[in-house]
Amino acid sequence: MEIVDPRVDPEPSGWAKFRKRAATAPMWDYSLLRVEAWLSRNPPVLAVVREGGRVLGACLAMLCGPARGQAFAPHPPRRWRPPAPCWAEVYLPWFSGHPAVVFRGHVPEAQQRALLRLFERRLAEHVGVGLLGVVYRALPTGLAGAASGPRRPRREIDPTTVLANRFDSVEDWIAALRPPVRQAVRESRAVAAELDVTAGAGRTDLDAAELAALLNEHRARQDARAWRSGQRARVAGLHLDTRSPVPTAYLDALVRRPEVTTRTYRNGTGTLLGFHTLIDGEGGMAMPHWAALPAERGGVARLSVDAYARCVGNLVERGRPELTAGRTLLDLKAALGFDTRTLVSVAVPRPVLGR
């Protein structure tokens, strides 16, 4: 097993081939990992395990420091220095409903367990004595079983939302909704028809700084609302959010990728009212980002409903098996026909690592 720092280490050999088979989401692209690592206060490292020379699996782990106030992580040290306390979160920060552990093909649970224990030992060696432990966040139940064990607390967290494609058309999907929801969908589509709605894959016409500002404002507002309401568990654990603000450079690279569709909503004066990204792959579609201007600043109510309706249209048109849409707004998505997929977190304190 090798552990690489995307900021300074070259892409592991065989990584591109492994990505095509097992880690198809663009978040696993090494160039995007490099941008994310340089612009994060909790930079990720990539652990790659091989079998006979080929890549068999991988884990992505953010190294998180307590009460770290700086905007970015310190530069990778060129020589040894006293270790600072940190913990590792095995987590895809911009794809939180999907695991940061992937294997090629079918790997039995017993082998997965052994490989995760090996990862923990190698990570402890890589980080040093300052590593406090590892938290596996947002694992599906199968992988959670491999990560679990004695003295490894686990708990079910907010699920991710999934819409199975069992529709012949968008109208077929609308017909399956409850009457009040059908009306809300039609009203949102009528409102959106009065706006400038533009969508395309690999877009080069967007101002990534504009997108990042809206997305980070949306995240901050959502976090503040969670604290005020006292319903923190309903907002996907944002009170424990260790992610950095979404970097402009990261979004700029993401929306230019051919498998990523970006849909923007603007009013007659050109103001950006909302946008979302949609990732397309043979295994399914995913909507990792959504942000909208609040009503008090000129935003449009229920704009997200139109966005979900258009994503369902893309789902049906491309014939993909499912659409995943993250871990927030669970009640809204349930009304729109989404089911949930169970996710589990597993905590591994330092004395238990590798056991």
Residues 188 and 316 in one domain: yes
What whole-number distance in Å separates Cα of residue 104 and Cα of residue 102? 7
Residues 100 and 179 in one domain: no
Q: What is the domain-level CATH number for residue 135?
A: 3.40.630
Residues 79 and 108 in one domain: yes
Contact of 58 with 23, CB cutoff 8 Å: yes
What whole-number distance in Å separates Cα of residue 23 and Cα of residue 32? 13
Q: Is residue 331 part of a domain?
A: no
Residues 147 and 251 in one domain: no
* pLDDT value at residue 233: 40
Q: Is residue 106 part of a domain?
A: yes
Return the exposure string of 129-156: e unless at least 16 CB atoms fall within 10 Å of the residue's CB, then b. eebbbbbbbbbbeebbbbbbeeebebee
Residues 170 and 111 in one domain: no
Q: Is residue 23 part of a domain?
A: yes
Residues 222 and 308 in one domain: yes
Residues 184 and 122 in one domain: no
Point out which residues pair with 184 in neighbouring strands. none
Percent of the chain with pLDDT over 70: 90
Please state, as a whole number, how many other Cβ atoms lie within 10 Å of the Cβ of residue 285: 23
Q: For the chain, how big is the Rg over CA atoms in Å?
A: 21
User: Which domain range does residue 23 map to?
Assistant: 2-157+343-352
Closest CA to 354 of 153, 155, 152, 156: 152
What are the pLDDT digits (tens) for 75-128?
Answer: 665 554 556 789 999 999 889 899 999 999 889 999 999 999 999 999 999 999
DSSP conformational letter for 284: E
Mean pLDDT of the chain: 91
Name the pairing type of β-strands 86-90 and 322-324: unpaired
Number of folded domains in the chain? 2
Q: What is the domain-level CATH number for residue 244?
A: 3.40.630.30
Contact of 215 with 248, CB cutoff 8 Å: no
Residues 133 and 65 in one domain: yes
What whole-number distance in Å separates Cα of residue 297 and Cα of residue 113? 50
Residues 6+ positions from 269 with CB-CB distance below 8 Å: none
Residues 197 and 148 in one domain: no
* pLDDT value at residue 101: 98
Residues 107 and 239 in one domain: no
* pLDDT value at residue 83: 63
What are the pLDDT digits (tens) for 149-207?
Answer: 999 999 999 999 999 999 999 999 999 999 999 999 999 999 999 999 999 999 999 99
